Each structure stands twice: as structure tokens, then as C-alpha cells.
Amino acid sequence: MRLLLLAASACAITAQPVTFLRDVAPVLNKAGCTSGPCHGAAKGKNGFKLSLRGYDPQFDYEALLYDLAGRRFNRADPGKSLMLAKPTQQVPHGGGLRFEKDSSYYKIVYNWIAQGVPFGDREKDVVASIEVTPREINMAKPGETVQIRVTALYKDGLTRDVTRDANVESNTPDVAKVDASSLVSGERVGEATMLVRYEGKYSTVPLTILNPKPGFAWKPLPQHNYVDTHIDTKLRKLKIQPSDLAGDASFLRRVTLDLTGQTPTPEEVRSFVADPTPTRAKRSKWIDKLIARPAFTDYWTVKWGDLLQNNRKFIGEKGTFGFREWIRESIASNKPFDKLVHELLTSKGSSYDTPAANYFRVTRDAKATMEKTTQVFLGVRMVCAQCHDHPFERWTQNQYYQMSAFFSAVGVRPGYEVGEEIVFDLREEYEMKHPKDSRVVAPEFLLASTAPVKIPADPRRRDALAEWLVSKQNPFFAKSVANRMWSYFFGKGIIDPVDDIRASNPPVNPALLDALTRDFTEHNFDLQHLIRTIVNSRSYQAAFTTNEWNALDGENFSHYMPRRLSAEQLMDAITAATGARPNFPEVPADTTSTQLPDPHVGKDGFLDLFGRPSRESACECERRTDFSLPQALNMVNGKTISDAVADPKGRVSKLVLSGKADAAIVDELYLASLSRLPNKEEAARGLQYLGAGPKAQRAQDLLWALLNSKGFLYSY
């Protein structure tokens, strides 16, 4: 009799069929049960594990049903099920209150249990896509609100409003925040992106909050190329007036550092500033001169050496020098970037005879090689998908192992010389196996529809990957490289971080990135052409000083953003300013920081303190450009600065012994350190200080002060 009453009660509550796929899984995800801090953690929580963000509903369903012998359900009395009692805190629950007894979520789970916990039909109950409205949010001023609506389209063609169950987050909460009902509130002038997620489907909604200040009138500035056109188009829409061009001296120091890692000499500064050639032509000519210098090759060899992890810790001393020379020669000859990458991915043979083969000696494992390859050359981070489907992107765990399978046949064995290794293609036992069921995983491109070639069944599969990866049909390759190169000149990518390209991390200026990508592709992946295009733009040459309309802009490239010099730039700038010789005992005299083969040279010294990467990761984030207290103390009283300033053969000694007038000494020290002449006030103070005591000591003090100024430590 009691069972009949309970069944009648359940029927009274149950209004419509409920399945795990369509109804219950979204509840678990929205309530946070599948989140990383809860049961979605790698090892679960308190003995119970669910898939992260519900990426594997079959696993979650079976865990709920069969773990603890099915004791999470009470089919006779659904209301007493642990699955309901814990989240409502009728019994102790480490995760706290997740929903109330009178909530719709409670009713959904109750009805599901009462109906016999059906899993559902994968052909009907799985979400095919989501539609988000509005597709773009524009607010005239802070304080406005907009309601986001999310509709799910299922495989059977039915639709459902899932706004309540979707996860909507703001990537910049101080610009716009979102409440639990998906209501967006504008907080301040700026831009943000709303990230919308529901049952493994993702969408983004760009948001713009305009400056309500009256009186904006667009002032057109010269457009040097399409870069300025795309940037100005967006700035005008946002009511942001870009800054004017930087002065010649500022531009000269900035572009010389960005292209060669060096600072211009005093003679070069004087000559460039005095040159009467029209500004645009003069600057373009200087850019060409810099790209032709050996220092350009040295500097960019460092950058790609970082990303390719050229480090004797992995490949030995001889391997490091050989790999560096291969990178250097590729840059010096302006080898098309698609050819460079293709050579890397298909390289085999002796690590001494074929230096590119060292690429595989660094990572050695197929999965690690795949992760590095996709992150560096596609801007895609696959590492999350090793254990579960990517939480913020479409990439699945299956795709992780399909991509890794391209490298599973790569073998590395000892060579004939000391430290030599041979990279070759295995002929047996090379198949990649899936960790869930040990099935053999066949290689497959991330986007099969863009594949220009078929994948061979034999071990030469990585040749096919190289063809696909560098092809013009691959939507990631050119875009990733163009975005990364942009970041080297503006301090941040159009998509940032540069190696995390995904739908939920959209570009701040899609039209600009598309134009750069198209230009790079049409010029056959010519890195020097891409660099020239960027640094010849007015946007790159803009002043760092702001106006009333762009003072708060940090995303749209309306003015130059000052950046601390990198470790190598700073070390070489100190050497150039003081006239001291570089001092790295492990390498020949006069070797600059940008000519060092790897982080082993000068280890644990000035370069490492100021953020030189150890090259143990292929992530741009390994290089630090912050400014810390230990760095400040080193600049103030460290041995590197003090020895360089007081070098008896250095700049100060030569200036004093030459008998030059005090005014000339002051000018020379400013030109050597800040790449500009002092203004009237600075010149007067410098003269006054030099004349108040021993000239040599005072000149050293002045140079020391300049080296510790922001004007020296930062690129403006």
C-alpha cells in the first residue's frame, strides 16, 4: 500500500519525460557539481568523480547509477535519494547548498529518479548547437543592462530556452559583469566578451561600452597601410582618438630595440633626427637598414630559439650550437616560414648532420611533441584535452590522441659520436593507444575538411601532418604566426595570450587579424614582409602619450604601450650606454646577449634575474617582463651596473679624458642611454651637477642615474 502511495505521489510531481542527457546533465553542470573544485576534479571529491564540466555524460551517468552500488537513488521514495538530499543539505554535503527543495532543479532530478533514471537518446537529446541573442552588445554609457538569451537546438530539431541553465561569464568583469540570470551590467567604458557555455557548446558575445562624454569629433590621421585602416575604423566607432606619431628619437630607439634588440648609437640618433627626408620615407628606409643587419638575425634567433626550446639540457652543447645555427641561417636567408616549419616536422637523421632533427630530441614523447607543435605553430593549447574534452573549446580527448598519433612513429636512438642521436621513423610498435580502452587511434587532422593530403597508413604520417599544418587551407597556421608577430611589437596579441586561440578568446580586432593573415599568406609566409608591414604602420609609430579620448584604452592599439626591456635588450643596452665590453666567460669576448646560444651561458646571473626564459617550455609566458624588488635593487647597487659604469675603458672615462666640455658630456650620456638629447631643464641640471665636484665621479653618477630611469628601462 505504501509503495502505491509513493508511486502516485511521484506521478503527481512528474509532468513530462525527463532524461539524463537533456535535463539532468545541465542541472549538474549549472549547479557546479562537475566543476574543477567539486566532483569534476581530476581525482573527484570525497570519493566521487564526475567528468569535468560534464564532457562525458555516459561516464557521469554510470558513476551516478553504479557507484556505491546505486545507493545515490531511492527509487521507492525519490525525495530521500542522496542525489537530492546532499545538494539541498538535508544531509551533510561538503559542497554546500546547490539548490533548494522548491527549485526547478529539484523537481527535474526528482522526476528523473521517479521515471526510472533514463539516460536518453543520443540521436535526439544531445545539443547540436546554441543560439545566443543579442549577438553583439553596444551600450551608450556605463550603467546600462542587457539580457542575454540562450536557445539550444537539439539533434531532433527541437529548441529550448536554456538561459537559466547556461553558464555566462564576462572575460573582463570590471568592464561588464553578469548575474545568475545572465543579465549583463555595464561597469565602465571599454570592451569585454561574454563567454556562453551550455552542454559542450560555446559562443561569444562582444560588448562595447562607449564613452558618454560629449564633444568627440574624429580627427583623421595619416594611414600608412591597411593596419591603420582597420585600427582607425574600430577606434572611430568606439569614440577613441588615436595618438599622433612619436618623435623621431622615440621612434628610432623603439624600432631599433624591437628589430635588433640593440639601442641606436649617439651618432645614429644625431644623424636620424637631423635627416630632412620626409618622416614616413626616412623611417621606412631605417627599418630596411635594421632588417639587413646581423643584429636583426641574432635577435630573432633568440626569439625562435626560446619557442623551439634550444637548450643544452635537452640536446647537449654541440646539438645546441648546431640547432642555433640552423635557426639563424633560416632567419638570415628569410626562409619562408612554411618551409621552415615543414623542415622541422619532417626532419630525420643525425642530430649533428640534420640540426632541425633536434626539434624531436627536446620533447621526445609523441604527446609532448604534439602539444608543442600545436601551441607554437597553431596557437592551440591541446594539453587540457589529454584527460578530458577541452573545457573552453571544441577539441576533444579523441582529437588529442589522433593528433599525437602523427608523432607516435618518431624514434630517437643513440648515434655514433658522443652526444649524437638519430631521429628516425619506427617500423613497428608505434601505434598510439587511447587511455580509456587501449584501442589504436588513427591519426587525424584537427580540421579534416581542410586537409590537402591523405594520411598514409605507414609510419611516414608526420609528413602528411607537415603538409596540412603549413598549407594555406589551414585556418590556424598563418593566423597564429601573424598574431604572435604582432605581439612582439605591441606587447600583446590581437588574440591574447597568443598561443591560446579559441572561440572563447576572440580577437579584439577580427578584421585586422584577418587582413594580416591574408597578407602573410599571399606573400608566401614571408616573415620580413609581415614585420615591415607592422612597423611601417602609423599605429606602431604612435606616441605613448595619450589624449582625453584614448587615455583609458589598453586594448585597441590607439597609442603605444611602454614595455620593460627584455633581459637581453637590457643587458646589451647597459653595455652600449657604458661602453663596457660584454663579459660572458663561456663564450668569446664581445659576444652580445642576443648572440648567446642558450640559457646555460650566464646562468643565474643578470639575464635570469630579469626574466630570460629557461627554455623548458614552449609558452611565451616563460619569458618575464615584470619589474620586481630584486631587479630594482640590482639596478641600484648591483655589480653589473656598477662595474659597467666605472669601467676604466668605458664611455665615461673616454669622455673625460677627451677633454670635452661638460655640455657635450651631458649630451653624449643622454644619447648613449636614452637615445635622445636632454631637454633644457635636464641639460641645466646635468651641467650644474658635473661642475660641483670631480668630473669623472660626477659623470659616472649621472650615467648611473640615467640607467636607473624609466626612460632607460622601458621602451617608449
Beta bridge partners of 204: 195
Answer whether residue 615 is part of any domain: no
CA distance 668 to 658: 12
Using the 3D structure, point to which of 114, 146, 178 is the last residue of a domain: 114
* Residue 425 main-chain phi, psi, to 5 deg: -95, 125
CB 112 within 8 A of CB 19: yes
* Residue 237 main-chain phi, psi, to 5 deg: -65, -35
Using the 3D structure, point to which of 157, 191, 209 is the last residue of a domain: 209
The confidence score (pLDDT) of residue 391 equals: 63
Instruction: For residues 418 and 386, state if they share a domain.
Output: yes
The confidence score (pLDDT) of residue 2 equals: 36
Instruction: For residues 140 and 86, state if they share a domain.
Output: no
Domain count of the chain?
A: 4
CB 230 within 8 A of CB 515: yes
Instruction: For residues 109 and 182, state if they share a domain.
Output: no
Cell digits of residue 295: 643584429
Answer whether residue 486 is part of any domain: no
Using the 3D structure, point to which of 434, 469, 504 is the last residue of a domain: 469
Instruction: For residues 83 and 142, state if they share a domain.
Output: no
The range of the structural domain enclosing residue 204 comes to 127-209
Cell digits of residue 647: 669601467
CA distance 177 to 168: 10
The overall pTM is greater than 0.85: yes
The confidence score (pLDDT) of residue 72 equals: 81
Q: What is the CATH number of the domain that holds 161?
A: 2.60.40.1080
Instruction: For residues 107 and 134, state if they share a domain.
Output: no
Answer whether residue 391 is part of any domain: yes
First to last CA, the chain: 84
SS3 assignment for 551-571: CCCCCCCCCCCCEECCHHHHH
Instruction: For residues 582 and 670, state if they share a domain.
Output: yes
Instruction: For residues 572 and 433, state if they share a domain.
Output: no
Residue 357 Rama label (left phi>0; alpha psi -120 to 50; beta): alpha
Instruction: For residues 424 and 395, state if they share a domain.
Output: yes
Query: Which of 553, 534, 527 lies closest to 224 in space, CA to CA?
Result: 534
The confidence score (pLDDT) of residue 388 equals: 74
The confidence score (pLDDT) of residue 15 equals: 55
Q: Residue 519: in which H helix or E strand, if any?
A: helix 510-522
Q: Which residues of the chain fall below pLDDT 50?
A: 1-14
Query: Which of 143, 148, 145, 147 lies closest to 187 in space, CA to CA?
Result: 143
Answer whether residue 237 is part of any domain: no
Instruction: For residues 307 and 418, state if they share a domain.
Output: yes
Instruction: For residues 90 and 152, state if they share a domain.
Output: no
Beta bridge partners of 202: 197
The confidence score (pLDDT) of residue 457 equals: 80
Cell digits of residue 159: 529548441
Answer whether residue 667 is part of any domain: yes
Name the residue with cell 589504436. Answer: 440
Strand ranges for 210-351 from DSSP E: 349-350
CB 240 within 8 A of CB 222: no
Answer whether residue 425 is part of any domain: yes
Answer whether residue 320 is part of any domain: yes
Instruction: For residues 34 and 168, state if they share a domain.
Output: no
Answer whether residue 120 is part of any domain: no
CB 315 within 8 A of CB 350: no
Instruction: For residues 172 and 48, state if they share a domain.
Output: no
